Structure 1
Amino acid sequence: MLEVAPTPSQFPTQLPVPREIRALLLDDSNFDRARIRRLSDKTNLSIRLDEADSIAQLDEAVARENYDLILIDYRLPVGDGMEALKHVLDNDLNRHAGKIMITGDNARETVVEAMRGGCHDFLMKEEMDVEALRKAMLNALSAAQQRQQMILHEAQQTEIIRQGLVAAMQDREVQGNVISIVRSHFPQGDGNRYHAADMDALLAAFNDEDEFIFH
């Protein structure tokens, strides 16, 4: 019987807030960018905020910097927030960053689209204040970190299973069972694709530890 040693959970009970939050704000309005910067300074979070006024500038920023948070204004003169979000998700450095969509009031459909598209939270621009901004930032950070932990956990579980299968296939009894199953599913004969010589070569590979490798 195959036994795999259990591993302790990789999920922390409370995900830490980064000592310095590296954030990027995409908004074409100088006034709105200045307002959000002032609000972020009052959140009691250590935020280093970069700014972009277009999707082109966003692309340049995410190509050179790994951000913890990316805030995206939905209304842009060229493209929109969903297009900008796709650019972030396609970027290897920043696809796992916390993402917040900034919308206007009464934009329920936009909010739903953004959340389904990969955002972790949203802000209504007209209703934004210090507390709303802080809450959205912390929510987005936590959701993004939990997602990354889940991806890591799944990768670790896959590796445990892979190692277990490799170990099992080096066991003579397991090899014998596999050989019996293979023979029963691939009958030999001139009318079949696999002939006896082909099958013997396949079965011999199970007995060679160097040949049995998972890629």
Structure 2
Amino acid sequence: MTRALILDDSEIDILRLRKFCRKAGLDFDIDAAQTIDQMRDLLDGAEYDIVFIDYHLGFDTGLDALAVVQAHPDQVSALPIMVTSVTDHSTAIEAMRSGCADYIVKEELTVSALQKSVASALERRIVLAMTSEAQVMASTLKASVERFVRSCGPETRELIGGLLAGIARLKTDEIDGDLRMRLTMVERGCLDIVTLCDDIATLTLGFQDERLVLSRLQ
């Protein structure tokens, strides 16, 4: 069952959100907290799929609570949804930039709005997971290419150079046409391998340039 956590300093608003979850057909196992400290205790005891965070929390804000959720080692998969007021559009934007999966305007809360928000949050999780997987694959590819250039690249070039020199010595006027054709095919294959090594070396330089640009931006 999907586990959800509601953080709101108003018991009435907690009950209201619970009610809308039931009406929306969201079969959540819901816990609730009214302070960030209470939320911390709950985060320590369970892994949550969705965390609804009210922005106005007395002396604290929803962004403070969001930072706590994001920093918790057991909540890496939790989807934070910020609950704001109708006048807090800039807050909603800031929450999304800070890592919220979506936001809900409290005064505009309806069954449809809640369903759309949860669906949007789940879609965001899928996109982030796909992006993360692509980044891992790209990193693995970079490491493999750089390892090839450092270790196999020079040795491959040396072997190909020796093979091409041997082919050049064999290709004399005395050999028959069939053997000459076969040697030419081998020669072309060797040149293709050399071209591949050059392309890989160029790709590695591109990786180095990319890291240089990123280091300057940081």
**TM-score, L = length of structure 1:** 0.67
Q: Considering fraction of residues, name the structure with more helix.
A: 2
Larger-gyration structure (1/2): 2
Give the aligned partner of residue 98 of structure 2.
Answer: 117
Distance 1:145 1:64, change over 3 A: farther
Give the aligned partner of residue 140 of structure 1.
Answer: 121
Distance 1:172 1:31, change over 3 A: closer
Which consecutive residues of structure 2, in runs of 5 or more, have no partner in the other structure?
A: 159-218
CA drift of 1:164 comes to 3.4
Aligned: 1:60 with 2:53:
no
How far apart, in 2, do the equivalents of 1:98 and 1:38 lie?
20
Aligned: 1:105 with 2:89:
no
Which consecutive residues of structure 1, in runs of 5 or more, have no partner in the other structure?
A: 1-19, 178-215
CA drift of 1:95 comes to 3.9
Residue identity matched to 1:100 = I
Matches within 5 A, 1:1-215: 20-171=1-152, 173=154
Q: Does the CA contact (< 8 Å) of 1:73 and 1:102 recur in 2?
A: yes
Give the aligned partner of residue 213 of structure 1.
Answer: none
How far apart, in 2, do the equivalents of 1:62 and 1:165 lie?
42
CA drift of 1:87 comes to 0.9
How far apart, in 2, do the equivalents of 1:162 and 1:118 lie?
29
Give a deviation string over 1:100-132, Cα, whole Å, max 9, x none: 110111211211211111112111111101111
Q: Does the CA contact (< 8 Å) of 1:74 and 1:101 recur in 2?
A: yes
How far apart, in 2, do the equivalents of 1:172 and 1:136 lie?
52
Give the aligned partner of residue 183 of structure 1.
Answer: none
Give a deviation string over 1:28-60, Cα, whole Å, max 9, x none: 111111111111012123312111111011112
Q: Aligned pair count?
A: 158
Residue identity matched to 1:108 = H
Whose RCO is larger (CA < 8 A, sep 6+)? 1
How far apart, in 2, do the equivalents of 1:56 and 1:105 lie?
27
CA drift of 1:69 comes to 1.0
RMSD, aligned α-carbons: 2.0
How far apart, in 1, do the equivalents of 2:137 and 2:7 lie?
35
Residue identity matched to 1:127 = E
Give the aligned partner of residue 9 of structure 1.
Answer: none
Deviation beyond 6 Å, 4+ runs, structure 1:
none
Q: Does the CA contact (< 8 Å) of 1:68 and 1:97 recur in 2?
A: yes
Q: Does the CA contact (< 8 Å) of 1:69 and 1:141 recur in 2?
A: no
Give the aligned partner of residue 202 of structure 1.
Answer: none
How far apart, in 2, do the equivalents of 1:174 and 1:57 lie?
62
CA drift of 1:77 comes to 1.9
